Amino acid sequence: MITEKNALITGGNKGIGFEVARRLCELGFSVWLGCRNAERGEEAAANLRAMGYIAHALLLDVADPASVTTAVGVFHEQAGRLDVLVNNAGIILDHEKKPSEESIDNIKAVFETNVFGPIRVTQAFMPLLLEAPAARIVMTSSSVGSLSIMSDRNHPFYSIKEIGYCSSKSALNAAVIAFAKELEGTNMKINAGDPGHTSTDFNNHAGPRSVEQAATVLVQLATLDANGPNGGFFSEDEARPW
């Protein structure tokens, strides 16, 4: 009988993903850090183990179907069921370029990681999520994926114009709604979390929020009880408009 709860965090070796992993470790989860680079993943997992936690590195490139398939096999063999999946891996390209100058190839690459990646990982791990009594799926989204926010001239983010990154988060939000409809009537829940503008190497440490602040909403959604929401979009303090 499996009693240990397992959590998988993609992009879990640094930044917000690593802090989510650390916080879930504190709550008693055995965490798996999904990483494209095996060495960096193992280093991050070793850091968590040095804190006294149960942590593993899992070679996983969300943009590579073969990598995802292999990762599912490894996870199934070593852990069995999956209780929490946090789809956190993401990229941004052509930052601050005019929409008319963004490369189509780069936009495709952003969608491959930010949209198709989370969908691919969720689909691939679904059988293992179904093995858990009440699995939770979290998609790391962003306020810039909200059409309501981005069309509000009074919002601080109104000036942001990136097509690739912003539209990828809008598409990710749509994927959350679609999965949530499938999961209605089950014990599983899926939601999108907005960590806010956070200081990480993702944005050259330009954000005002700390990774500790950013991780809070993702951990909250990963540990919802039976009365928690399904198919919502949330920041730490409130529901976000689609």
The sign of the torsion formed by the CA atoms of 199, 55, 71, 183 equals negative
Low-confidence ranges of the chain (pLDDT < 50): 1-2, 199
Burial 24-60 (b: 16+ CB within 10 A, else e): bbeeebbbbbbbbeeeebbebbebbeeeebebbbbbb
Residue 173: per-residue pLDDT: 98
Q: pTM for this one? A: 0.93
Q: Which CATH number fits domain 6-234: 3.40.30.10, 3.40.50.1980, 3.40.50.720, 3.40.50.2300?
A: 3.40.50.720
Q: How high is the pLDDT of residue 212?
A: 85
- The one-letter amino acid code at 61 reads D
Q: Which amino acid is at 13?
A: N
d(CA 95, CA 124): 30
| Cβ(168)–Cβ(63) below 8 Å | no
Q: Are 218 and 193 in contact (CB under 8 A)?
A: yes
Taking CA atoms, 140 is separated from 75, 104, 126, 154, in Å, by 22, 23, 18, 24
What are the strands of the beta sheet with 30-35, ordered from one edge? 55-59, 30-35, 6-10, 84-87, 136-140, 189-193, 233-234
User: Crossing angle, helix 163-183 and helix 104-111, to 10 degrees?
Assistant: 30
In this predicted model, what pLDDT tens digit does every residue of 159-171 receive, in sequence order? 999 999 999 999 9
Using alpha carbons, select from 177, 61, 163 the residue that is nearest to residue 116: 61
Residues that are catalytic:
142, 169
User: What's the confidence (pLDDT) of residue 224?
Assistant: 97
Residue whose C-alpha is closest to residue 91's, from 107, 108, 113: 113
DSSP string computed for 32-94: EEEES-HHHHHHHHHHHHHTT--EEEEE--TT-HHHHHHHHHHHHHHT---SEEEE------S
Integer Cα distance of 150 and 173 in angstroms:
14
Which residues make Cβ contacts (< 8 Å) with residue 15, sequence separation at least 6?
A: 198, 200, 201, 202, 211
Residue ranges of the domains in the chain?
Answer: 6-234
Question: Closest Cα partner for 141 from 242, 29, 209?
Answer: 242
Say what the pLDDT of residue 76 is: 96
